[in-house]
Copies of this chain bind each other. A is one copy, B any other.
């Protein structure tokens, strides 16, 4: 799986754990909802600043977000 897809999958997983809709996550993160939808589908080569907005909106940090065996090389 490509890194874009792994990232999107994890965003979706945490968003659903939080009980957020895409629209809610968009509002909290200040990232467009269509862009978030594309990210979750693994379609976007997201930048580190957008990653940070989404990760913080999911109430986590880079340490915890990537601490997942799906990100093992």
Contact = CB atoms under 8 A, between A and B. Distances in A.
Interface of A is mostly: helix
B72 A61 contact: yes
Given A46-B47, A46-B48, A63 B56 contact: no
Q: Quickly give the copy total for this chain.
A: 2
15 contacts: A3-B48, A3-B49, A3-B51, A4-B49, A45-B47, A47-B47, A47-B48, A56-B73, A61-B71, A61-B73, A62-B66, A63-B68, A63-B69, A63-B71, A65-B66
Given A63-B66, A65-B66, 20 more contacts: A3-B48, A3-B49, A3-B51, A3-B52, A3-B62, A4-B48, A4-B49, A7-B48, A45-B47, A45-B49, A46-B47, A47-B48, A56-B73, A60-B73, A62-B66, A62-B71, A63-B69, A66-B66, A66-B67, A67-B67
